[in-house]
Amino acid sequence: MSDAGPIRLTKLAKRAGCAAKHPPGFLLPLLGLLPPITDPNVLVGSETVDDAAVYRMSDELALVLTTDFFTPIVDDPRDFGRVAAANALSDVYAMGGKPLTALSVVGFPDSLPASVLGEILRGATDIATEAGIAIVGGHTIKSEEPIFGLAVVGTVHPNRVLSNAGAQPGDALILTKPLGLGIITTAAKNDQDTHGAIGDAIRVMTTLNRTAAEVLGRFEVHALTDVTGFGLLGHLRNVTAASKVTAEVWVDRVPFLPAAREYVAAGVAPGGTRANWRFLADWVDYASGVTIEEQLLLCDAQTSGGLLAAVPQSDAVAITRALDEAGSLAAAVVGRVQAAGTGRITVTRAG
């Protein structure tokens, strides 16, 4: 605590959480400059903009490799560590894998007491323990803003990798967490969270995607990703582009945190959300009647959001029921894969 009162970490960050990521319009051209990967043991690399890399070690074992870190999304240091850890672990679950271990990635300013970093690390350890792994080391540098995240290693059978490239025409699209996290956390940072919705947002962000992944693992899943900084439509665009299909999203079936609707109507949205919306203008067609506020919600930059799965339509009811029974925060069929195509997405209402 400072002389002026409790330290508010979000006031030290220009951009918060996954909204601090460079937008897809910046990243995708750079990835296109990389030479093709020729190692046959690389099962998933950067070419499909997937959640993690997968490297085959043997016929029975592959490693899932990922890293994710960002500036504070919440004010409390322990909550920041919890959110960042859950967010990084999510990439392994999104590949059908199981986390094995992790390293911390830290940038920390001299202006903050070391006890703040201690609380961040404690929060991350809480989530790692819940996931059944240890944080075994890491690296720390001095920085102007606090930065925290994890580099995570997981395992998966080479024949059970779930990538974003397998969606098939006719598949149902299932989402496992509500949207609106970027809008609510931005409202809280700007002292505009009049409903105190940040508590609900923290609950969503610190909920591991482990249970949802375990449920999905009992069914046939054609493609899987998690919804983070590029928003629902941005990550779905990665699925449709990698799978060479088109898709339809029903905005009236998508679960949103209630306060996010009110805040976005008042003009609250992080810069990352608006950057996603601009980029996706070349990929998404909105039906008449889909408001700009709804468009922004669908493009909202999430931090530690839910899983988005493409599954056989015939299994959709059973999967959502199983997710509900397992305590999923939101198990909803939010759209469908339509046909082979160039990756375009249509947003409409189911009616």
Q: Give CA–CA dist 205/320, Å, rounded.
A: 20
The DSSP letter of residue 158 is: G
Write the pLDDT tens digit of every residue in 150-201.
Answer: 999 999 999 999 999 999 999 999 999 999 999 999 999 999 999 999 999 9
Q: Give CA–CA dist 88/304, Å, rounded.
A: 8
pTM (predicted TM-score): 0.94
Among 255, 127, 253, smallest CA distance to 180 is for 255
Residues of the chain scoring pLDDT < 70: 1-5, 15-23
Q: In this structure, how many other beta carbons lie within 10 angstroms of the beta carbon of residue 255?
A: 17
Among 201, 118, 221, 120, smallest CA distance to 161 is for 221
The pair of three-digit structure tokens given for residue 30, joined into one six-digit string? 């750079």
Write the pLDDT tens digit of every residue in 204-255.
Answer: 999 999 999 999 999 999 999 999 999 999 999 999 999 999 999 999 999 9
The one catalytic residue in 7, 13, 16, 18 is 18
Residue pointed to by tokens 């890293």: 67
The DSSP letter of residue 4 is: T
Q: What is the DSSP string of 214-231?
A: HHHTTS--SEEEE--TTH
CATH 3.90.650.10 fits 172-348, yes or no: yes
Domain boundaries, the chain: 9-160, 172-348
CATH 3.30.1330.10 fits 9-160, yes or no: yes
Q: Give CA–CA dist 228/215, Å, rounded.
A: 20
Q: Judge whether 299 counts as a catalytic residue.
A: no
